[in-house]
Chains A and B, each alone.
Chain A
Amino acid sequence: MTFSHARHASLVFLAWWWSATALATPWEFGEPVTVSASRPGVFHHLEAAGRQSIALSAGAVAIVWEDNHDGAARTYVAWRAANKNEFVQQRLSEKQAAYEPAVTALPQGGFVFGWEEDGHVWVRAGGPAGLGAALKLSSAEAGQITLAAGEKGVYAAWAERSGRHMAIRCARLKAGVTLTAEPALAVTAPQDADQIYPALVVLKSAVVIAWEDRRDGHTVILHARTQDGRKFSKAQALNEQPKQRSQTLGRGTGAARVTLARLDAERAAAAWLDKRNFLGGYDVYAAQSEPGGGRFQQNELILDDFGRNIGQWHAAIAAQAGRQAVAWDDDRDGSSDIWLSWREASGWSENLAVPGAAGTGIQASPAMAMDEGGGLHLAWIEQQDANAPTRLRYIEARRVIQKSSASRVH
């Protein structure tokens, strides 16, 4: 066999292997759709706390983002009604510069939106038929709002200034013709360090919150829950810490941007960026809670061998009926792509470059939701190069029956 024959045979084998393993993924991806098109000088951002930038309600999809297309930062929602292909845009924020919008679906239908504007956090309810009045939740400088809903109601959490530092606040919202809010709860006693970037999930018996906390002299992901809606449990660490502190590495190696999803009625799933293997930058770790959300089980690295020596960013988790998947971006293939891993019986799958969200150009900042059928709904930011304008993209993936348990896809 000549060298060229051998090379040809290798390529044929690789192509067969790729297609065979690609078929083993539990999702069938559709065609990507542009939600908000690129325009010169316009930059879109999906950056809600908890990466809560996409939600699903009775077949409708809502994606929230911020961009500067009218000359200042504003927050927007794009709706796609059930059985429609096109997204319709609407502005969420009012007159001031606005940032970091978040969204959650209401169990009875419709959505609740949150965002930062004029140094405070705001919410409003609505759906494709229209938006309700905006309600200010914070009483001091605040931002990084996130939202979640479930049997125990609709909740918002955010970071609010308390003296010199930011503290996590949480409030139950009352959805009606006009949205109202109960008085905000402090998640912990006052601390001499910042608490930022909360993530939230509502279970049948508890509201679980996680956040970045600097009280130990480095950033730790802490979590707590409330069962009665009046007081949160004592905060516990979500990201495992090394048994011995290193003189060289300081107090800790760093963790950031936790995201939560409802795994089932009584369990939460978490994913976050973690620098415990610090030389390769952030890795994506995940953990799932025990029933009731009071404790989380051991941390799990969800990267395959190709992802471990490279930095990851923007981890987002989605879950439904015991299934869970995590998306993020990294540039292991030379430019930033959206990657996906899902939990199987044996552990986290090898990593899949999302078809339509990988390849030439930059694909980053994923936000993801999972529907009742286990299908994925993924939004991300795309640009041709680092200096090009951005556009907001969306793809849907229908869950299919796996042909084998060997869904090993890189």
Chain B
Amino acid sequence: MAKHTCFWPLLFALFSLSVMADPPDGYAFVSYDEGLAQARQDGRPMFLYFGRFGCGWCDKTNREAFSDKQLHRLYSDRYVLVYVDAESGKRLTLPSGERITEHELGARMKVLATPVFAWLERDGREIFQVPGIQSTRDFLLYDRFVSGGHYRKENIRDFLSRETR
């Protein structure tokens, strides 16, 4: 009986967590402010994950893409990982010095459906963003676009068109 008493709350907790659409497990996601400070310090670009509480597409992307070990290693090494809750009133400070909320950052970056993934320069300037469910392969391609410096010469559409031909 004692085993059962422990089992159900644990199962409930696991189920609850699985649909909360927090950042994926095992990744060192930090707040926007912390991420911007880290990026300025170590020179890495930022990878910004716009999620939403209860977002099914975020949960699916977490399970199916971010569980990949290669992706985990690559993104953890090459990017400062930032998670933003698109409905949150948590405050952050933009590179301009303006203080806004995470929800307001969504308004400024025109975030519509979640998830939205954005790659930012170390000074916070946006390189590009993609909305919706993404696969491991998608994220690996996006990484090549950013870490290979292709974004300085062409837009993401042209890059993907060439790379996936």
Which chain A residues have a beta carbon within 8 Å of chain B's beta carbons? 41, 43, 45, 47, 68, 73, 99, 143-144, 196-197, 212, 214, 216-219, 246-252, 254, 256-257, 275, 278-282, 311, 313-314, 331, 364, 386-387
Contact A68 B99 (CB under 8 A): yes
Cβ contact of B111, chosen from A99, A248, A251, A281, cutoff 8 A = A281
- What A residues does B112 contact at CB under 8 A? 278-282, 311
Contacts A219-B87, A250-B21 known; list 8 others, CB within 8 Å: A41-B97, A45-B100, A217-B53, A219-B54, A251-B54, A279-B113, A364-B107, A387-B96
Interface size on B, residues (CB 8 A): 32
Highest count of chain A CB atoms <10 Å: which of B57, B98, B104, B111: B98
- What B residues does A68 contact at CB under 8 A? 97, 99
- Any A CB within 8 A of the CB of B137: no
- What B residues does A196 contact at CB under 8 A? 89
- What A residues does B113 contact at CB under 8 A? 275, 278-279, 281
Tell me the bound Cα distance from A217 to B54 in angstroms.
Answer: 5
Tell me the bound Cα distance from A314 to B55 in angstroms.
Answer: 21
Highest count of chain A CB atoms <10 Å: which of B21, B87, B112, B114: B87
Contact with A along B1-41 (1 / 0, CB 8 A): 00000000000000010011100000000000000000000
Tell me the bound Cα distance from A331 to B30 in angstroms.
Answer: 30
- Any A CB within 8 A of the CB of B67: no
Looking at the assembled complex, report how far the CB atom of B148 sits from the nearest CB atom of chain A, in whole angstroms: 28
Contact B19 A251 (CB under 8 A): yes
- What A residues does B107 contact at CB under 8 A? 313-314, 364
Q: List 13 A-B contacts (CB under 8 A).
A: A43-B98, A43-B99, A143-B89, A144-B89, A250-B19, A250-B57, A254-B54, A279-B113, A280-B112, A282-B112, A314-B107, A364-B107, A387-B96
- What A residues does B108 contact at CB under 8 A? 386
Highest count of chain B CB atoms <10 Å: which of A246, A250, A279: A250
Looking at the assembled complex, report how far the CB atom of A409 sits from the nearest CB atom of chain B, in whole angstroms: 25
Contact with A along B79-110 (1 / 0, CB 8 A): 00000001101010000111111011001101
